[in-house]
Chain A
Amino acid sequence: MKAATSDEYKILGTRPIRHDGADKVTGKAKYGADVQFANLAHGKILRSPHAHARIKSIDTSAAEKVPGVFAVITANDFPDPQDKIADLGEGPVTLSHLGSNVMARGKVLYKGHAVAAVAATSTHVAEQALNLIQVDYEILEPVLWVLDAMAEDAPLLHENVFTDSMGEASEKPSNIEKHLHFEKGDIEQGFAEADIVIEREFKTASVHQGYIEPHVATADWNEDGQLRIWTSTQGSFTVRHQTAELVGIPLSRVTVYPCEIGGGFGGKIAVYLQPVAALLSRKSGRPVKLVMQRDEVFEGTGPTPGSFVRVKLGAKNDGTLTAGKAWIAFDAGAFPGGPIGPGCMCVFSCYDLPHATVDGYNVCNNKPKTQAYRAPGSTHVAYATENVLDEIAGELDLDPLDLRLKNAVKEGSRRVDGPVYPEIGCVEVLEAVKNSEHWNAPLEGPYRGRGLALGFWFNCGLKSSATANVNTDGTVTLIEGSTDIGGSRTSLAMQLAETLGLTAEEIHPQVADTDSVGYTDVTGGSRVTFATGLAVCKAGEDIQKQMRQQAAVLWDCDANEIEISGSTFSRNGNSISFQELAAKQLQLGEPIVGRATVAPDCSTNGFGAHIADVEVDPETGKTTVLRYTAIQDAGKAIHPSYVEGQMQGGAVQGIGWALNEEYFFGDAGDMKNASFLDYRMPTCLDVPMIETIIVEVPNPDHPFGVRGVGETPIVPPPAAITIAIHNATGVYMRELPASPPRLWKALQEA
C-alpha cells in the first residue's frame, strides 16, 4: 500500500461533528451506571484494610442473615484455575493471579484488595452486610518501594513466583518476577569513545489513570446459563474471555455489551467487577450491578508502576552520543505482569545509540496490581533519559534541540530491543519544534525556564473486524467492536466515507456487542484508528467490489469494466452514483454487506516533542506552567480535532504526573490520598491551553498513512517540565512528582 498525499482527500483532515456528540451533550448516552433492570440487585465489595496479610478465615454467616441480602460470595465461590495460563489478547496471563486479584485467595496483597462481595436490595443494605463479614487476618509486613522489594530479605508476596530471567527460572521464589536484558554493540567501547559520561538515578511515584468514570459492571446470569454483562471497558472481547475463564464457562456463553466509556487510559482492560457481578447474579438469581466508589478505584485498580531508573549516557564533545546504559526497576504491584518490556524498549528509542545495554526488572510489591496507563512504561524512562541528555547539552554548551536532532533515530536505525525503524517522523517532529513560534519566542523573567523533551510510543496493530451494511437510502451502517474512548467512531466513519466517496454523516457507526461483530482486540496501544481503520477501509473496498458487480448487472457488462471515482461508478459514458446504486441493490441482486478482518503485525511508531515554559515560586516551590506546546507525528490526522485532543489530554496527564500526582502511602502501606481532593490531578485552572502542532509523515503500512497518536503525548511532559524547572531554578528534580514541598526542599538544599 502506498500512502497518498493529503490534498487527495475530501473527508480526511476535516472536522465533522462526532456521531455520538448529541447523545453525550444531552445526557442520553448510556454509560455503565445508567443500566437499570426492574429486579436489579446492588452489590458492594468488602476490601482489605491491610496491605499484606494472610486470610485465616472469613465468616459471612451474619451478613447472609441481613434482611434484603440476596447473595454473599468469597474466592471460594470461584473455580480454582490452578496453573492454567490463558492468552487474553495482550499476552499470556496466569489465571490464578488474575482471579486472585478479582477476589483474594489465601492472602491479601494490597489495601483495597477485594475479599468478599454482597448483593442486596440496595447499596446501603449491602454495606450494612459487609460490616458484618468477619475476616480473621494474620498481618504480614508489607513492602512498597520497588528497590526494597528486590532485597534478598524482603517480605515475599508469592511462594510460586520465580524470577524469569530471559527464559531461565530462579531456584528460589522471588518478588522479582522478570528480568529483561537487551544489548547492542559494545558498551565498554562506547563509553571509552565518549568525552563526557553522565549517570543519574530517577524515581517516580505510582500514579493512577484517573478516568472520571469509576469501574462499573452489571451481570445477568440467565436460567439457561447464558451470561450477559453490561460494562465500561476498553475491550468487550477481552472482558468476555477473562470472565468466562474466571467463572469457568465457555466464552460463547458470555455476551458483553460495551457501554459508553468515561475514560480508560489502559486501566479498563483487566476485569475487576465483571466476574464478581456474574457470580453474585448466579447466586441471587437476579441481575446484579456493581459500581466502584472513587476510593475503590484508587485503592483497588491499576495504577502505573512506581519506578527506579538509572541512566548513563556518553557523548563526544560535538554531542554525538556514543553509548547508553539503563537499569530499570518497575513495580508490578500485587501480581506479576506490567510494562517493563516497553520500558526497556522506549528508554533509548528516540536516539541512535551505537552501543547500549538495558536491564529491566519487574517486581511484585504490596500495591494494587499495576495496569497499562497510556504508553505504559515509556514516560518513566523518557523522564530519565531526557534529563540526562539535557545535562549533557548543558555541560557541552550545546543547544538541546540541536543535540537531539544530531542523534535522532531515522529510517534504518536499530532500536536496542531489536527492531529496525521503517519510515518514521522523529527528525520531522524536531524540525517542527525548531520552526515553531513557541520555541523561538523569548522567555524572560526570574525563575522562569523552558524545557524540551522527546517521547516515543510504538503503537500496536492487533486484530479488528468490521461490517458495513449499505442502506437503500444511500447511507452505510458501520458495525465495529472498538469501544470508543477518543472519538474513534467518527475517525473510522471518516475512513469509510473517504473510501466510498461519501460524507462522514452518511456513515452511521455503531460499537457492537460481542455477539454482533467479529473479534476485535482492545481499544489500546493507540491502535483503533490505525487497525480498525484498516478493517474499515477494507470493508469499504468489499462494498465497492459488490457494487461494481451490481453495476455490471445493470449495464450487462463485466465487473472489471466498471470504473470507480469517488462515489461514481461509470463505464463508457454511463455513470451511476453510489446512492442510486444503493437504492437499486435489492432489485439488482443480493443485499450489499462489506466485511473485513485484519491482523496487522506492525508498529506505527509515534514520536512527539513537547515544549514547556514554567515559572517557579521560590518561596513555596510551586510550579506554574505558563505555556505548553505538543508537537507530534500523526502520520495522517484523520480528524485533526481528535488528534489535537489526544495530544492535549496526554500532555495534561503528564503535567499532573510531573507536578503533583502520587500515591501517598502510610507506614502500613495504606494509601492516604484515595480521593480526587488529595490525589491532585490538574484542573483546568492548573494548565494553560495546550498548543498543538501536528506533523504528518505517512505510515507506509496504512492506506491513508495513519499512525497511532493516543499514547505518545503522555511521554515527554515529566521530562519537559523538570527540564524547564532546572532552567528556571538550576535544580534538577530527579524524583516525581516535583511537588511544591519537594521542590522547595530541593531549592533550600541547592
Chain B
Amino acid sequence: MKNFEYAAPANVESATALLEKYGDAAKILAGGTDIIVQLREGLRAADVVIDIKNIPEIVDYQYSADVGLQLGAATPCYRIYGDEELAKAYPAVLDSTRIIGGWQIQSRASVGGNLCNASPAADSIPSLIAHQATCHIAGPHGRRSVAAQDFCTGPGRNTLEQGEMLVALTLPPSKPNSGSAYLRFIPRNEMDIAVVGAASWVQLDDSGESIQSGRIALAAVAPVPLYAEEASSWLSGQPATAATFVEAGELAKNIVSPISDMRGTAEYRQHLVGVLVKRTLKIAVERARTNQ
C-alpha cells in the first residue's frame, strides 16, 4: 500500500470537488470495510482517500411510515437492524444488514458502501432492488437519481461518473399486506460470501391468499445483481402457494448467467436460484400475512 492523502470534507460539495479534481485517484472512505482491504491488498490504489463520515446527511437516516426511508449512504448496518420500525417496514434489508460480516464489520459497514463496491454477490443489493430503492447521486453538475437495479454496471463497477458520489438511498413507504425476505446460500453458517443471494418482496390482497404484486432480485448469478422482471411481474394475481413459489423460481432461473468458480458451479448456482426464490417468497408471504 502506498502513501495517500486523507481528506474529511464537511459537506457534499467539498467532497465532489475533491472527487472531480482527483478523478480515479480519489477513493471514498465510508465504513472502510472494503476500501481499506482493497488498498492494502493492491486491488485498488488511491492518491487521496476522502472520508465522508463528517457529512451529516450521509451518516444518518430518517424514516416515517408516510414518506418512507431516506438512508444516508454511510449509515452503518447496525443502525438499520437496531431500529424496530425499519425492521418491520423493510424486512429484507434487515435480513441483509444482519449478515454482512460480523458485528465488528456491521458497526462500520454501510448499505451505501455495499452498493458502491458493486460486488455481484453483495448481500444488500437484492433487498434494495426488491424494495424499489432509489439511489441519490451528487456530482459537480448537480444531483441525479437512478433505480437500485440500474446502479451497478459490472463487477466492481457502478454508474458513478467522475466527481460523483452516492449520497443517500430512498425506499418507498411500506405497503399494507406486504412482506419481504433475503436469503443467501453459503456453505458455512456465517462469515461467508453468497454463492447465490435472493430477495423477494410481495404484497398480498386483503384475503392474504393471492399475490397482488411482487419483486424478486438476485445476487451472484450475473456480473451485476439482477432484478428478475419476468418472474416478478408474473407473480401478480397468482395464489400465494408453494406451487407459485416454485414456478417463480423457475422463471427467475431464465435470466441468470452464473460462472463456475471456487464457490460453486454455474449449474449449481442456477439450481440454487430456484431454491432461494422459493424459500424467500415463502418467508415474504408469511411476513406479509403476519405483518412482520
B275 and A664 contacting across the interface, CB-CB below 8 Å: no
Known contacts A124-B1, A620-B185, A686-B188; A741/B262 CB under 8 A: no
The chain B residue sitting closest to A622, CB to CB, is B187
Q: Which segment of B189-197, B204-212, B221-229 sits at the interface?
A: B189-197
Complex contact B268–A744 (CB within 8 A): yes
Say whether A605 faces chain B, with CB atoms less than 8 Å apart: no
Residues of A within 8 A of B1 (CB): 124, 127
Q: Cβ of B235 < 8 Å from any Cβ of A? A: no
Are A686's CB and B185's CB within 8 A? no
- If A124-B2, A619-B275, A678-B262 touch, whether A660 touches B268 (CB-CB below 8 Å) is no
A1 within 8 A of B: no
Q: With A and B bound together, what is the CA distance between A525 and B271 in angstroms?
A: 45
A741 near B264 with CB under 8 A, answer yes
Whose C-beta in chain A lies nearest to the C-beta of B262? A664
- Taking CB atoms and an 8 Å cut-off, the chain A residues in 665-686 that contact chain B are 672-673, 677-678, 680, 682-683, 685-686
The answer on a CB contact under 8 Å between B2 and A680 is no
List the B side residues contacting A740 at CB < 8 Å: 185, 187, 195, 264, 268
Instruction: State the majority secondary structure of interface residues on A.
Output: loop
**Are B188 and A685 in touch, CB under 8 angstroms?**
yes
0 or 1 for each of A678-714: is its CB under 8 Å from B? (1 = yes) = 1010110110000000000000000000000000000
| Bound CA span A622–B184, Å | 13
Bound CA–CA A659/B192 (angstroms): 15
Question: What string of 1s and 0s marks CB contacts (under 8 Å) between B2-40 and chain A?
Answer: 110000000000000000000000000000000000000
Q: B265 contacts A741, CB within 8 Å?
A: yes
Residue A128 at the B interface, CB < 8 A? yes
Whether B191 pairs with A620 at a CB distance below 8 angstroms is no
Cα–Cα, bound, A461→B1 (Å): 47
Inter-chain contacts of B264 with A (CB < 8 A): 740-741
Q: Does A2 contact B (CB under 8 A)?
A: no
A680 / chain B contacts, CB cutoff of 8 Å: 187-188, 192
Size category of the binding interface on chain B? 20 to 34
- Given A124-B3, A127-B1, A678-B193, the answer on whether A660 and B262 have CB atoms closer than 8 Å is no
Q: What is the CA–CA distance of A124 and B187 in the complex, to the nearest angstrom?
A: 35
Give CA–CA (A685, B189) in the complex, Å: 6
Give chain A residues whose Cβ lies under 8 Å from the Cβ of B268. 740-741, 744-745
Interface string of B153-194 (1 = CB under 8 A from A): 000000000000000000000000000000001011111110
Judging by beta carbons under 8 Å apart, are A678 and B263 in contact?
Answer: yes
Docked Cα-Cα span, A622 to B183, in Å, equals 15
Find the A residue at minimum CB distance from B278: A619
- In this complex, how many residues of chain A approach chain B with their Cβ under 8 Å: the count is 23
> Do B189 and A686 have beta carbons less than 8 Å apart?
yes
B261 within 8 Å of A (CB atoms): yes
With both chains docked as a complex, state the minimum distance between the C-beta of A378 and any C-beta of chain B, in angstroms. 25
Give the chain B neighbours of A673 by CB distance below 8 A.
262
Closest chain A CB from B221 CB (angstroms): 14
Minimum CB–CB distance from B120 to chain A (whole Å) comes to 15
**Bound form: Cα–Cα A124–B261 in Å:** 31
In the complex, B199 has a CB within 8 A of chain A: no
Contacts of B271 in A (CB 8 A): 744
Asked whether any CB of chain A lies closer than 8 Å to the CB of B272, the reply is yes
Alpha-carbon gap, A741 to B272, bound state (A)? 10
Contact with A along B103-133 (1 / 0, CB 8 A): 0000000000000000000000000000000
Name the A residues within 8 Å of B195 (CB-CB).
740
Residues of B within 8 A of A672 (CB): 261-262
State A744–B195 Cα separation when bound (angstroms).
14
- B280 → chain A, closest Cβ, in Å? 13
Q: Mark A736-750, 1 if CB is under 8 A from B, else 0.
A: 000111001100000
In the complex, the chain B residue whose C-beta lies closest to that of A677 is: B193
- Known contacts A672-B262, A673-B262, A741-B265; decide if A660 and B3 are in contact (CB<8 Å): no
Contacts A619-B275, A660-B187, A744-B271 given; does A677 touch B262 at CB 8 Å: no
Bound Cα distance A127, B45 (Å): 14
B218 → A minimal CB distance (Å): 16
Could you list some 11 contacts between A and B, CB below 8 A? Answer: A124-B3, A127-B1, A619-B275, A620-B185, A677-B193, A678-B193, A680-B188, A740-B185, A741-B264, A741-B268, A745-B265
Q: Which 4 A-B pairs have the closest CB atoms?
A: A664-B262, A685-B189, A741-B268, A673-B262
Q: A683-B189, A740-B264 are in contact. List 20 more A-B contacts (CB 8 A).
A: A124-B3, A620-B272, A660-B187, A660-B188, A673-B262, A677-B192, A678-B263, A680-B187, A680-B188, A680-B192, A682-B188, A686-B189, A740-B185, A740-B187, A740-B195, A740-B268, A741-B264, A741-B265, A741-B268, A745-B267
